[in-house]
A and B are shown apart, each in its own frame.
Chain A
Amino acid sequence: MAVCVAVIGKDNSPKFISCLNPELELQFHYKVHTSLDVVEEKLSSAGINTGDVRELYLGLLYSTEEHKIFGYVTNTKIKFIVVVESANTLLRDNEVRTMFRRLHNLYTDVVCNPFYIPGDPITSKNFDDTVKSIMVNNI
């Protein structure tokens, strides 16, 4: 079960952040923001050995006492961040991957909306609801 899901634009500005516990929103904003350090580093080091298709899933970015943070970057440099509680040991890597893949599909739907201007924060009820259900149901 994820506790926070974030979509970050290519300029590293937040496009969408949702967390299960709204009281901790600020804390998660900081967490997601700091995790971008690792994303940037991974992207810049991946840039050196280009050639084959880059793996979009970045894996575990870093873990703290309370949380594990996973990352995923699309080819257009849109970043997805998922925060999972460290206590949740049941979650397997494969499930995290599936979560990201679903998020990517969802994001694609948002961008396909002709009324959405790319680069704007995402304000979509459907996206919001589906992300919430992904977080809760872990699918």
Chain B
Amino acid sequence: MFLTDDNLLTMSAVPSGFDFPSELSTKPFALIGLTGLDTLNNAIHRTIWDAFSNNRRSDRAPVHFKLLGPAHEFPPPKAKRNTYEWYIPKGILKRNWMNKHLNEIPAVVAIFYELDWEDPQWNEKRIECASRVQSMRVALAGRNTRIAVVLIQQTAPLPTGEDMTAAERATALCTSCELNAKSLFVLPHGDHLHGYTVRLENVFYDLALNYYHHEARNVKSHRDQLNKTTHQYLFVRHQLKIGFLNELKQDSHTAQKHYLQAYNNLLEVRIVDTNNLEVKTVAGFINYKLCKLMFQQNLPRDAINQFRQHIEMFRNCIGPKDLAFEHCAWMSKQFSVFGDIFDEAIRQGLPALQTQHPGFYYQQAAQNAIERKTSCQELCKSVTEYPNPDPLMGAENLEFYGQRPWRPGKLSAEPPDPAKEKIGVLALQYKEKNTNHSMLIIGLLGSAISQFKTYRCPRMRRQLVVQMAEEYFSSQDYGKALTLLTHMLWDYRCEKWWLLLSNILVRALGCAFLAASVQDYVVLSLEALGSCAQLHEEEKTRVFGNLERLLKGLPPDPEPNLPQEEVDHARQLWTSSKVGDVFNIAIEMNNITGCIESKAQFTQPQYQADQHVTIEVYIRSCCPHPLQFSKLTVTVNNPTYSSEFAVCESSSNESGANPLLLFHKNEVKRFVCQFLPDVQDVGKEIQIGSILLYLGSEKGRCAILRFTGTGSEPSSVDISCPELQHFRPSSADMPDFDGIQPVATAEIVPRDSKLEVTVVHSTPALLGEWYPIKVILENKESNMISEMSMDINLLSNNEDPSLEQATQICESISDHIVSLPLKISVGNLDPNCNIQKLFYMRGHRIGNRNIMIKVSYNLSVGQDGLDNNNSCIKETTVMIPVVKPFDITAKFFSLKFEPIAKSFAKEPFVVMPHVSCVSPCSLVIENSSIELSGHIKSVDDEVKSQLKLISLKNGETGTEAYCVTADQANDQPVALGIYTLQWRREDTPELVTSSSVTLPTVRVESAPLFIEMCLPAHGWVRTPMAVSYHIRNHTTCLLDLELNMEASDAFMFAGHKQLQLRILPESVKTLDYNLYPLLSGLVALPRLRLTISDKNDYPVKQPQLTELLDRSLPSHVYVMPQGKGNPTPIAIPS
């Protein structure tokens, strides 16, 4: 919106008329005259005058200083009247009175004189000063103006009472000047001038108050002499004067009281035609003062009430009928002035309301100004020349306010001279006729508009702007009127006030015609033809006819109800070369509610690169007459450029109008626009930029109607309830225009690839193996594929983000450190051929891997004769679970093959890894090995895998055993070592995987003794068998033990039955026995018992010893029955 209130105001420069005199509207200040200051030649005087007169801020005393020359003359006072008995007042208020008291008669005159107390020429100067005072007195003869003397002194004064000379000389000076001692002042010139002037100023102000008080009393004293019959005017005048003097005294309360009295007295005056203007003028003045004072005293309600009563009182005092416009002007002035003081009060901090603010008064003032204009047009139309001699001579110098210049000072009682009266009225009418009413009205409307804007009344403001446009229209400024109207059209359109819109449209169309503005004329015509414009059928027909004429290059017929001379002028404009040229007008249709609506949609939200993009355009006409267009195009925008597609075009020869583009009333047509998207647009969004309809021929005059296609035109349909629009009936044989959802954007996506990607693999992958994945690419496209490449990547997994680190992918196992994604270039592929690619994946952790295979390639498409190089992409995702091939557990056994939880240092034990196959496919173990840690040693020198080349199916378990010893005891569990399996899938002999597991830990405790029994695997009955016990001392002490061999029923034996043993540190004692089995079967061996002698500090404890024996010595042995023949002795193992 370009329309601001600033330029609204500048558009309406306010000419003055009927203005209130400035002495009435300025705030009265006490007048103080300063004399004896030679400001031109004397620098000191200059600074003193500046100190008084400059910087009159609100905190200073409310006085007004006036510099008086040495021989200043005051207005002469009138002769004092002793009695009012024979006095008949000639008017209410003299024009010069207020000005006199404001600016000419000072309340106080201060005489400045340079005189020090110690001045050498004291006496001479004293006399000169006295004479100055005297001459001032003479000049002010007959006035009560207070006189003060100010001595300008060079030396700073001593404190009061100390300077005897000063006191004495001051008295002398007062005497010679006949001056009250309190009116003599000293102004030391030097420091603190400002402080002294402020103090002096306050003293002067006090004197002035005193003066005005006195003057008011003086006026009041006349009251007793007045009588109501002849002195009605004086009652008003005197109260008004008292009020004004009180105002000078800054006593607004008393002033208000007296003004009110003056006003009430004025209301008692009988109003007749002759004094009508005078009474109203003075009433206006008093009312103005009253309202202003009330606002000042923060009584806005009282002020508004006073003003209402005032208006009510004088609304019907029209006065002479021939001068009715004068009354309207007066009313307008009352309102506008009240608006001004209200506005001023608001600026002083008064809060205003939306329903009570100055705007209403300005508006009313404008209203009255309009009435004034109407009445002027009625009354003054016959007046053609100004009368001679001028009856209005001396209008500026009348003695009283509001009187007629041709009969000044005449009393209302006297009958007026009819001839003079007639000439006077004629003169006034002539003047009125030449007043620029429109500018006045526009000025007032401008003030009102800015107020209504401030108080949040946008609609009120709009109405006033329309009125303003109306005034511009009548002042023949059609351009401005048109600008204002077109701006307002927008707002009324938004809120769908069609009647108001139509009204403004008609007016604007008139403006456009008169201003010969082609663009506006076409736009407005199109809107006037629309369904929203509530115009009569004939009106629309006329507008349509004009539009057709215009497009054919002919000037349109004038709008009705336009003044004839303006129409003639406009005709010239239309036929002038400026308009007659070939033109193309672009019209933004989504700014107006025109007779043509359009919606457009993409048929799909996405289009593939090789697919035709389809745009459906729906156009509806609600023009009452058939509309023929010449061309329809659609522009499509993408982020970088826009392109235009012709949808429907008239055939090249001029005569054949395209029947497809002919629209009858309420006809809806559907057009389809198809095009292939640009390859560069892939992945981008394209947008319907605009729909362009060409009205008229492109070679001649043509209006280009531009739609956005979104259907956002402020149409008649209420879009607030879209779900309810289905209930709206629409004719069956046409597309349902209201139901169409505009789709303005669509995305261009890459074309669907016809490449077939097959992934072959034998799931699941096993942990740690290089898992082969085979990709078969088959070209099902109709053309050759070139520059094909595969990107293989691992999709990140939300549950396990570090899975990527535990996965390797490579093309061949030899160079397996490749960062992802793996890129495999494939090359070209002819149609219907296939190609295989292999790659490997290795998982170091179980879990599912999602592998994405993205194949990108170029497809040379010779589609539609175009050599189109289409880049295509095909994506496939494979999920590969990684599982464990084996469960490997290891268990520990004693040499007796009993499971053990702990082992003893230097005692051999057995480790048995159990390899259980959990893979769904059979696995072959190529080799297995155990790598023992430092503390563990193998008992056998040579270790061979017992699982080598064993094939395990799912669920089968292979076990091998290793005999090891720990070399020393340890507090911590001892790590046994690492078990490594080399395995492969049964069907892939070449891919051997090596998996290692850490064997469990074992606790190793210390054992002080180690006992080993050498016993044959079995014996024979009655055949001796040799048995030996090796007792090894692992301690560093000498061990004293007592050995007992318990007797057994099953054996006889030879050897020590009881023995004191003594074993040296780190040495072995061997005891040999010869057993002679008596019974066969699994028989208990004679038990060996070791006891220690009772010594406390012994490193070996008895329970420990017993446990050792139980653990180390077999308890039973198999004894075979005696076979036939001779028994053979069993060799004793050494």
Contact = CB atoms under 8 A, between A and B. Distances in A.
Interface of A: 9-14, 17, 25-26, 29-30, 33-34, 36-38, 41, 61-62, 65, 117-120
A26 B497 contact: no
B457 A14 contact: no
A29 B456 contact: no
Contacts of A36: 459
| Interface range, B side | 20 to 34
A33 B459 contact: yes
11 contacts: A9-B720, A17-B499, A25-B499, A26-B499, A33-B459, A34-B463, A37-B460, A61-B355, A62-B355, A117-B728, A119-B720
A36 to B, nearest CB: 6
Contact of B720 (A11, A26, A34, A37): A11
A34 B457 contact: yes
Contacts of B503: 26
Closest A-B pairs by Cβ, 7 of them: A119-B718, A13-B496, A37-B457, A34-B460, A34-B459, A12-B495, A62-B355
A120 to B, nearest CB: 6
A41 B354 contact: yes
A35 B725 CA distance: 30
B724 interface: yes
Interface string B227-240: 00000000000000
Contacts of A11: 495-496, 718, 720
A20 to B, nearest CB: 17
A29 B718 contact: no
B86 interface: no
Contacts of B463: 30, 33-34
A38 B497 contact: no
Listed residue (B354, B498, B724, B725) with the most chain A CB atoms within 10 angstroms of its CB: B354
B458 interface: yes
B497 A33 contact: yes
A33 B494 CA distance: 13
B354 A37 contact: yes
Nearest to B315: A65
A118 B717 CA distance: 11
A62 B357 CA distance: 12
Interface in B350-380: 354-355, 364
Nearest to A115: B727
A41 B720 contact: no
A120 B720 CA distance: 10
Contact of B456 (A41, A62, A118, A119): A41
A118 B503 CA distance: 26
A79 B497 CA distance: 15
Contacts of B499: 14, 17, 25-26, 29
A62 B356 CA distance: 9
Interface of B: 354-355, 364, 456-460, 463, 495-500, 503, 718, 720-721, 724-725, 727-728
Contacts, number: 63
Contact of A29 (B355, B500, B725): B500
A9 B718 contact: yes
A10 B364 CA distance: 30
A61 B498 CA distance: 23
B368 to A, nearest CB: 10
A43 to B, nearest CB: 12
Listed residue (A34, A37, A61) with the most chain B CB atoms within 10 angstroms of its CB: A37
Contacts of A34: 457, 459-460, 463
Contacts of A13: 495-497, 718
Contacts of B459: 33-34, 36-37
Contacts of B724: 117-119
Given A34-B459, A37-B459, A41-B354, A120 B718 contact: yes
Contacts of B460: 34, 37
A82 to B, nearest CB: 17
B14 to A, nearest CB: 24
Contact of A117 (B354, B495, B496, B721): B721
A118 B719 CA distance: 10
A92 B503 CA distance: 35
B289 to A, nearest CB: 25
A37 B456 contact: yes
A117 B727 contact: yes
Given A36-B459, A37-B457, A14 B496 contact: yes
A58 to B, nearest CB: 12
B327 to A, nearest CB: 15
Nearest to B728: A117
Nearest to A114: B727
Nearest to A9: B718
B157 to A, nearest CB: 64
A70 to B, nearest CB: 13
A96 B458 CA distance: 27
Nearest to A60: B355
Contacts of A61: 355
Contacts of B725: 117
B364 A26 contact: no
Contacts of A38: 354-355, 457
B720 A10 contact: yes
A75 to B, nearest CB: 16
Contact of A26 (B458, B495, B500, B728): B500
A24 B720 CA distance: 30
A107 to B, nearest CB: 16
Contacts of B497: 13-14, 29, 33
